[in-house]
Amino acid sequence: MSVVAALGFESAGVAAGIKRSGGLDLALVVNRGPLQHAAAVFTSNRAKANPVLWSQQVVADGRVCAIVLNSGGANCFTGAEGFQTTHATAEEAALALGVSAGDVLVCSTGLIGEQLPRERVLAGVRAAVAALSAHDENAASAILTTDTHAKTAVARGAGWTIGGMAKGAGMLAPGLATMLVVLTTDAVLEPAELDAALRAATRVSFDRLDSDGCMSTNDQVSLLASGASGVRPDVAEFRHALVEVCTDLAVQLQGDAEGASHDIRIEVVGAASEDDAVEVGRAVARSNLFKAAVFGNDPNWGRVLAAIGTTSAEFDPYAVDVSMNGVRVCAAGGPDRPREEVDLTPRAVDVLIDLKAGAEAATIYTNDLTHDYVHENSAYSS
Amino acid sequence: MSVVAALGFESAGVAAGIKRSGGLDLALVVNRGPLQHAAAVFTSNRAKANPVLWSQQVVADGRVCAIVLNSGGANCFTGAEGFQTTHATAEEAALALGVSAGDVLVCSTGLIGEQLPRERVLAGVRAAVAALSAHDENAASAILTTDTHAKTAVARGAGWTIGGMAKGAGMLAPGLATMLVVLTTDAVLEPAELDAALRAATRVSFDRLDSDGCMSTNDQVSLLASGASGVRPDVAEFRHALVEVCTDLAVQLQGDAEGASHDIRIEVVGAASEDDAVEVGRAVARSNLFKAAVFGNDPNWGRVLAAIGTTSAEFDPYAVDVSMNGVRVCAAGGPDRPREEVDLTPRAVDVLIDLKAGAEAATIYTNDLTHDYVHENSAYSS
């Protein structure tokens, strides 16, 4: 149960023949109402895929009836022909569902720069409409690319539910087709409330996942609300539950990141501002040398400090403390406990950085840099 | 011949026992004058090693008599004890040479967060002074860490010479001890002229080398002028020759980058400004996905465009052209020639990006992301 855990939703996942493997590659999620409210956030990459350009227009009025997602091709840098494929996909779904194409979101994931097989996509849409079910288990699988398993999450409030599914092997899967997320709820909320809650939740969850520093052209997180529970939730409670679902999915994405052998949690405390904490965590998360050291189970805190030094965050290099898996290896910018005391063999690695510059904090989630990451991203072409 | 190619200079390289391997690990370069003019540029990392903190003070008055460089330890995040080691190193050289310690630069390279063996360093300084020679060939070898060979360059003008030596396996070698460069000239130039020429030259050479996106705590490029030729050069000619020597050394660093199997030259043209061109080139150079694709001989231009999309440079994603090794694989943001026509098997890879937004250009030098890079940076500890 994922996107259909909330009342008012049906979904389907079918094999449309887009992927050469013949596996599930097209998903459809339909909001049967009574409300069809929605919000969505998109990649900030200025090179946006055709489905992103389309979906930004669709969601502008806060009304969405359905969302079509395909794996097997990103439909990015595919020009006018690619945009027409996205448009035709929405039209096909709209026709079969009896709604307006302007209320159908589209997401694509896969290799950049190649056209989708349009007729197969359209036939897949028709097959998905025919397969729609409130008990569907296939949609979350049909959106996967190099992911090794489906990722779903559910949170329940007082009479309402949030469900979600996600794909993405880190921030960026091969071919630059990456994180797609669909969240559904049967709570009664206005589009503006959904939008504010979604932005607040993604800011502290998906935006803090930085597996390989590469930003996708296709990222899209959509939140659809059916109002089918008839319950208007406490907005603070709803927001809290949404953060929970988003963080759950983000951590699942981290755990399935391409080639990763460690899930690294970088907690930055003692920052002068939350922005400083995020900047520091992200700089460490993007240091190939730090990430390669973690792969080698080497608690190389010098690489942590060198990464911090590249930021504009407020800190004194000779005040900073760094702990790795509970052992403070660096105190006040100098050696503390011996490196040998740190055990980095577990998959989970906790890095705690105290900037000693204030009271703000943030946590960034990343992965190590491994032979398998290099292999998957150098050998991928299908 | 490297730093002693210019008149007025002597150098030496000795095995001081700092490296466990027992190899050459301490270099000394002495300017015998008559002038002892100098300029230097340092890492912009805010976490600066002790020798950087020391050398910034030394060069402030534009006068430098000697420079001591050690491999086998970065002397970074080693606190007051580490700073005292740097100070003692300068004092020891000054005593033996009959100059002021305040005119002795110090550079260190190796692992961060460990103290240097001070007595061995000081004994090494004495041995180096005893070994000084105007025909020395060892200094360039004594500064190497994971480099596989020494890197030197010489340029000659009308009666004057510039010599140089460099170490560094990309922008960042294991343990974060990276690029050290010493340049010498016998031309007659004032410190302010040297400073301006050095900043102009490093801006378009070393600053455009971005092997792995990681910024060192120890980077230092020093330029010493002896005036021993008695020739005051045409300043424009001198600047041109200095750029030539710096670019030569930068390309040698690129060619010896850790684990690299491709040397990638990213030429950005048609930019609205030089800054835009540099930002775009650097964003592509820092994309692990692009770099892993090149390792796999995969002309994945979608990863180039996705990286460009993360910048603030002026461009229209649907105007950009991208060529790889002479084949235009992307025209106006869409597929052009088939990927199969691109041969990425040679070590040299040329990526040409035309932003179609102006007339400015810049070239960034980088390397691919390989299994060997991950191996060297996860297994390194000595």
pLDDT in tens, B273-330: 999 999 999 999 988 889 999 999 999 998 899 889 888 999 998 899 999 999 999 9
Asked whether the predicted pLDDT for residue B176 surpasses 70, the reply is: no
Q: Which of residues 217-236 of A touch B (CB under 8 A)?
A: 217
Q: In which band, very low, low, confident or very high, does the pLDDT at B169 lie, cut at 50, 70 and 90? A: low
**Domain co-membership, B324 together with B357:** yes
- Residue among A372, A360, A127 at smallest CA distance from B371: A372
Question: Does A219 share its domain with A103?
Answer: yes
Give the model's pLDDT for residue B289: 86
Whether B247 and B138 share a structural domain: yes
| Dist. CA A277–CA A320, nearest whole Å | 13
Judged against a pLDDT cut of 70, whether residue A121 lies above it is answered with yes
C-alpha Rg value of chain B to the nearest Å:
21
Q: What percent of chain B has pLDDT over 70?
A: 96
What is the per-residue pLDDT for A210?
75
One domain, residues B267 and B249: no
The two tokens of residue A53 are 């350009």
- Give the pLDDT of residue B36: 93
Q: Assess whether A151 and A220 both reside in one domain.
A: yes
- Give the ranges where chain A is alpha helix by DSSP (H): 50-58, 79-97, 118-131, 139-142, 191-203, 235-255, 274-285, 288-295, 301-308, 371-379
Q: Could you report the per-residue pLDDT of A274-300, keeping only the tens digit for each?
A: 999 999 999 999 888 899 999 999 998
Mean pLDDT value across chain B? 90
Higher pLDDT, B275 or B171: B275
Looking at residue B174, its pLDDT comes to 32
CB–CB contact B214 A287 (8 Å): yes
Those residues with Cβ within 8 angstroms of residue A20's Cβ, 6 or more apart along the chain or in another chain: A72, A382
Question: Cα separations (Å) of A54 from A73, A80, A88, B171, B280?
Answer: 16, 12, 11, 41, 26
Domain encompassing residue A288 = 263-379
Q: Is residue A1 domain-resident? A: no
Give dist(CA B14, CA A303) in Å, integer: 29
CB distance B141 to B24 below 8 Å: yes
What is the rounded CA–CA span in Å between residue A180 and residue A144? 9
The reported pLDDT for the residue numbered A299 is 93
According to DSSP, residue A261 is labeled S
User: Does the beta carbon of A252 lie under 8 angstroms from any beta carbon of chain B?
Assistant: no
Q: Using an 8 Å CB-CB cutoff, list chain B residues near A373.
A: 288, 292, 374
Q: In this complex, do B175 and A335 lie within 8 Å of one another by their Cβ atoms?
A: no
CA angle B119, B125, B127 (to 5 degrees): 105
A4-22: pLDDT as tens digits: 999 999 999 999 999 999 9
pLDDT band at A173, cuts 50/70/90? very low
Under the banding of pLDDT at 50, 70 and 90, the label for residue B213 is confident
User: Residues A53-57: contacts with CB within 8 Å, 24+ apart?
Assistant: A53/A83, A53/A86, A54/A83, A54/A86, A54/A87, A54/A90, A54/A105, A54/A106, A55/A105, A55/A106, A55/A107, A55/A220, A55/A222, A57/A102
- Mean pLDDT, to the nearest integer, of B42-61? 90
In a domain, residue B1? The reply is no
Spatial contact of A336 and A329, defined as CB atoms under 8 Å apart: yes
> Can you tell me the distance from the alpha carbon of A258 to that of A5, in angstroms, rounded to the nearest whole number?
28
- Coil, helix or strand at residue A271: strand
Question: With an 8 Å Cβ cutoff, are B378 and A298 in contact?
Answer: yes
Is A4 a member of any domain?
A: no
Determine the Cα angle at B71 with ends B68 and B72, to 5°. Answer: 135
pLDDT band at B380 (very low <50, low <70, confident <90, very high): low
Identify whether residues B228 and B312 lie together within a single domain.
no
pTM: 0.80
Please report, rounded to a whole number, the percentage of residues in chain B having pLDDT higher than 90. Answer: 64
A382: pLDDT strictly greater than 50? no
| Chain A residues near residue B335 by CB distance under 8 angstroms | 77-78, 113-114
The percent of residues above 70 in pLDDT, for chain A, comes to: 96
Average pLDDT, chain A: 90
CATH, residue A200: 3.60.70.12
- The verdict on residue A227 lying in a domain is yes
Answer for the pair B113, A330: CB distance below 8 angstroms, yes or no. Answer: yes
Res A286: pLDDT: 87
What pLDDT does B345 receive? 95
Q: Does any domain span residue A274?
A: yes
Residue owning tokens 């030094």:
A309
Is residue A322 pLDDT above 60, yes or no? yes
Backbone angles phi, psi at B94, to 5 degrees: -60, -45
Examine the domain organization and report whether B243 and B318 are in the same domain: no
Confidence of residue A176 (pLDDT cuts 50, 70, 90): very low
Size of interface A-B (CB pairs under 8 A): 195
Residues B41-57: what's their mean pLDDT?
88
Q: Is the pLDDT of residue B332 over 60?
A: yes
Measured between alpha carbons, how far is A252 from A151 in angstroms, rounded to an integer? Answer: 6
**Last residue of one domain, picked from the residues B227, B255, B283:** B255
- Considering the domain architecture, whether residues A87 and A151 belong to the same structural domain is answered as yes
Which residue is listed with tokens 């943030």?
A362
Question: Is the per-residue pLDDT at A60 higher than 90?
Answer: yes
Q: What is the pLDDT of residue B317?
A: 87
Q: What is the mean pLDDT of residues A226-248?
A: 91
- Nearest CA to A211 out of A270, A164, A255, A146 is that of A255
In a domain, B3, yes or no: no
3-class secondary-structure state, position B116: coil
* pLDDT score recorded for residue A168: 78
Evaluate if residue B166 carries a pLDDT over 90.
no
Instruction: Provide the percentage of residues in chain A whose pLDDT is more than 90.
Output: 64
Q: Is residue A349 part of a domain?
A: yes
Choice among A123-132, B44-53, B155-164, B224-233 with the minimum mean pLDDT: B44-53
Put simply, the chain B residues between 57 and 116 with a CB less than 8 A from any chain A CB are 74, 76-79, 111-114
Would you place residue A95 in the very low, low, confident or very high pLDDT band (cuts 50, 70, 90)?
Answer: very high
Q: What average pLDDT does the segment B100-109 reach?
A: 95
Which of B178, B184, B185, B366 is catalytic? The answer is B178
Q: What's the rounded mean pLDDT across residues A159-173? A: 75
Instruction: Return the higher-pLDDT residue of B17 and B309.
Output: B17
Of the residues B225, B255, B285, the one at which a domain ends: B255
Of B26 and A42, more confident: B26
Do A331 and A226 sit in the same domain of this protein?
no
- Mean of the pLDDT values across residues A303-316? 90
For tokens 């491709």, the residue is B262
Quickly state the pLDDT bin for B382 (edges 50, 70, 90).
very low
According to the model, what pLDDT value does residue B172 have?
Answer: 41
CATH of the domain at B327: 3.10.20.340
pLDDT of residue B1: 65
The predicted pLDDT at position A360 comes to 96
DSSP B110: S
Q: Based on the fold, state whether residues A224 and A363 are members of the same structural domain.
A: no
Tell me, what's the pLDDT at A174?
32
| pLDDT surpasses 80 at B145 | yes
The average pLDDT across A110-114 equals 85
For residue B224, which of B265, B245, B195, B267 has the smallest C-alpha distance? B195
Closest C-alpha among A88, A123, A79, A124 to residue A106: A88
Q: Based on the residue annotation, tell me whether B145 is a catalytic residue of this protein.
A: no
What is the torsional sign of CA A83, A88, A93, A98?
Answer: positive
Please report which confidence band the pLDDT of residue B221 belongs to, taking 50, 70 and 90 as the band edges: confident
Q: Do A150 and A296 have their domain in common?
A: no
> Does B302 contact A214 at a Cβ distance shorter than 8 Å?
no
Residue A58 main-chain phi, psi, to 5 deg: -60, -45
Of A210, A228, A255, at which residue does a domain stop? A255
- pLDDT score of A1: 65
Query: What is the number of structural domains in chain A?
Result: 2
Any domain includes A3? no
CB contact under 8 A, A309 and B378: no
CA-CA-CA-CA dihedral for A286, A289, A292, A294, to nearest 10: -80
Task: State the nearest Cα–Cα gap between B221 and chain A, in angstroms.
Answer: 19
The verdict on A236 and A273 lying in the same domain is no
Looking at chain B from residue 295 to 334, which residues have their Cβ under 8 Å from any Cβ of chain A?
295-296, 298, 300-303, 305-311, 317-318, 330, 332-334
**Higher per-residue pLDDT: A221 or A85:** A85
**Rounded mean pLDDT of B343-364?**
96
pLDDT at B117: 97
Residues of chain B in contact with residue A340, where contact means CB-CB under 8 angstroms, are none
Question: How far does Cα A381 stand from its chain's mean position?
Answer: 22
